[in-house]
């Protein structure tokens, strides 16, 4: 049965128009604006002509069905804010064909609140209304649902059909306004089978971003590749389902239209600390997460920009797994599995062979955007070459005419504030203000002295040193 499905998919690919444009969906993690120099990423760095769709992450959901801005100072223009939404959407002036969306949810947002709101017809209706108003108010072209995940992580079985009901109520409202409705979803069968009615998702969504990465990571006791294209010899049971090919096959066989299926690829790797540095292949014993990188600062995860810089500096050995078609790199007891230009080229060929809708990337700010390892955005350009037939030319930037008398619109990078306390910085990193939990400082070592940057969490949030980010006050020790 399976071979016939893919036989007909191949026929469909041959029958499709040769020049039909594939989607390249670029997610932007807005918290990357707070990273240290070298990894700090500004919205202005995004090359919109290399993306057909750009998705700003994230906003949140409230218990009464509202859409909540999570970082008002970064996202909005109010109170000397940086106007991230506005600046993101303004990038369309450089690439008028590119569409912008706002995403709700993500891993940290959890599942239980979505389950409660979407399971209540009154709250669900209010949520639909608030979504439409939010998209229109901030001038996005669409909305991306990233509920991780229905019927999991505090959800309940009814979530599966309640998620469909949400889409069915959003669909006509979006159609009236010409808006795009998409979702990011679990890719692998063991998770996706719990959460989705795939034929109904395919019917109601414009496209579906399957997150075909995080298939292995430091939560496991042995090393594994973040996003292997194919299985490896010796795998059995659910292990055989934890590869890109198995994920795609599951979604297609379960009723997803190929042209709506967007294959997600990771612009980062999953890292491990080896139990024995002499056993360093795929499946080697691991004793935990790999060391955090200098930019992303998250144990067990390294951005491609960090990986390529490590390899360039030397001491790392890169091995290409011939079965699973992706590389991994080893140095001492450090191990990371990731994607590079070569492996992404093969994945893009795979997309074309099945006539899938295109590729999604998570996320643009961990590509080599500074070009420290060669050209800028090598991974994103590789996607364009394979899916769009080449790298689109950068358009000329708009210039103001000589008679323009408009005052500057650039806002201060920080709201007015008192100077930081003397001696607040003891080491590089972040530190909370001793008197105000909502205020924190970034300490940057510059030639032996500290440059201090002040930040303020959005209303109702406090800086949480355990995550180096803003969190609800009741979750932060000492700030209740």
The 3-class secondary structure across the chain, one letter per residue, is CHHHHHHHHHHHHHHCCCCCCCEEEEEEEHHHHHCCCCCCCCHHHCCHHHCCEEEEEEEEECCCCCEECCCHHHHCCHHHCCCHHHHHHHHHHCCCCCEEEEEEECHHHCCHHHHHHHCCHHHHHHHHHHHHHHHHHCCCCEEEEECCCCCCCCCCCCHHHHHHHHHHHHHHHHHHHCCEEEEEEECCHHHHHHHCCHHHHHHHCCEEEEECCCCCCCCCCECCCCCCCCCCCCCCHHHHHCCHHHHHHHHHHCCCCHHHEEEEEECEEEEEEECCCCCCCCCCEEEEECCCCCCCCCCCEEEHHHHHHHHHHCCCEEEEECCCCEEEEEECCEEEECCCHHHHHHHHHHHHHCCCCEEEEECHHHCCCCCCCCCCCHHHHHHHHHHHCCCCCCCCCCCCCCCCCCCCCCCCCCCCCCCCCCCCCCCCEEEECCCCCCEEEEEEEECCEEEEEEEECCCCEEEECCCCEEEEHHHCCCCC
Nearest to 144 by CA among 69, 212, 56: 56
Q: Which residues contact 401 (CB under 8 A, 6 or more apart)?
A: none
Q: Which of 93, 133, 136, 148 is catalytic?
A: 148
133 catalytic? Reply is no
Question: Could you give the residue numbers annotated as active site?
Answer: 148
């Amino acid at each position: 049965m399976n071979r016939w499905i893919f036989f007909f998919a191949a026929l469909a690919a041959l029958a499709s128009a040769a020049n039909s444009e594939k989607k390249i969906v670029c997610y932007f993690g807005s918290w990357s604006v707070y990273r240290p120099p070298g990894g700090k990423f500004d919205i202005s760095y995004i090359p919109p002509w290399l993306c057909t769709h750009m998705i700003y992450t994230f906003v949140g959901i409230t218990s009464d069905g509202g859409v909540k801005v999570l970082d008002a100072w970064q996202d909005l223009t109010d109170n000397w804010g940086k106007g991230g939404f506005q600046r993101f959407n303004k990038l369309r002036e450089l690439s008028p064909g590119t569409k912008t969306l706002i995403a709700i949810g993500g891993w940290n947002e959890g599942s239980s609140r979505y389950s409660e709101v979407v399971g209540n017809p009154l709250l669900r209706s209010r949520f639909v209304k608030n979504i439409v108003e939010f998209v229109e108010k901030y001038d996005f072209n669409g909305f991306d649902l990233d509920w991780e995940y229905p019927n999991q992580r505090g959800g309940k079985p009814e979530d599966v059909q309640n998620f469909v009901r949400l889409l069915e109520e959003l669909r006509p409202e979006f159609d009236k306004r010409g808006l795009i409705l998409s979702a990011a979803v679990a890719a692998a069968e063991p998770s996706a089978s719990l959460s989705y009615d795939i034929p109904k998702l395919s019917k109601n969504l414009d496209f579906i971003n399957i997150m075909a990465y995080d298939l292995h990571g430091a939560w496991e006791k042995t090393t594994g590749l973040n996003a292997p294209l194919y299985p490896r010899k010796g795998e059995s049971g659910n292990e055989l389902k934890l590869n890109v090919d198995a994920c795609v096959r599951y979604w297609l066989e379960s009723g997803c239209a190929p042209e709506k299926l967007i294959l997600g690829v990771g612009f980062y790797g999953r890292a491990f600390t080896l139990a024995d540095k002499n056993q360093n292949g795929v499946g080697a014993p691991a004793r935990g997460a790999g060391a955090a990188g200098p930019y992303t600062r998250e144990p067990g995860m390294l951005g491609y920009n960090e990986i390529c810089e490590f390899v360039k500096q030397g001491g790392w050995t890169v091995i290409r797994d011939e079965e699973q078609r992706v590389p991994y790199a080893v140095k001492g007891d450090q191990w990371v599995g990731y994607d590079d230009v070569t492996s992404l080229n093969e994945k893009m060929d795979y997309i074309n062979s099945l006539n899938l809708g295109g590729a999604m990337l998570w996320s643009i700010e961990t590509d080599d955007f500074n070009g420290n390892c060669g050209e800028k955005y090598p991974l994103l350009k590789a996607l364009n070459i394979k899916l769009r037939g080449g790298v689109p030319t950068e358009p000329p930037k708009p210039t103001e005419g000589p008679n323009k008398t408009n005052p500057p619109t650039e806002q201060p990078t920080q709201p007015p504030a008192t100077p930081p306390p003397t001696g607040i910085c003891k080491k590089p990193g972040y530190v909370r203000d001793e008197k105000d939990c909502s205020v924190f400082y970034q300490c940057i070592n510059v030639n032996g002295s500290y440059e201090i940057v002040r930040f303020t969490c959005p209303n109702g949030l406090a800086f949480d040193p355990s995550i180096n980010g803003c969190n609800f006050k009741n979750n932060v020790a000492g700030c209740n």
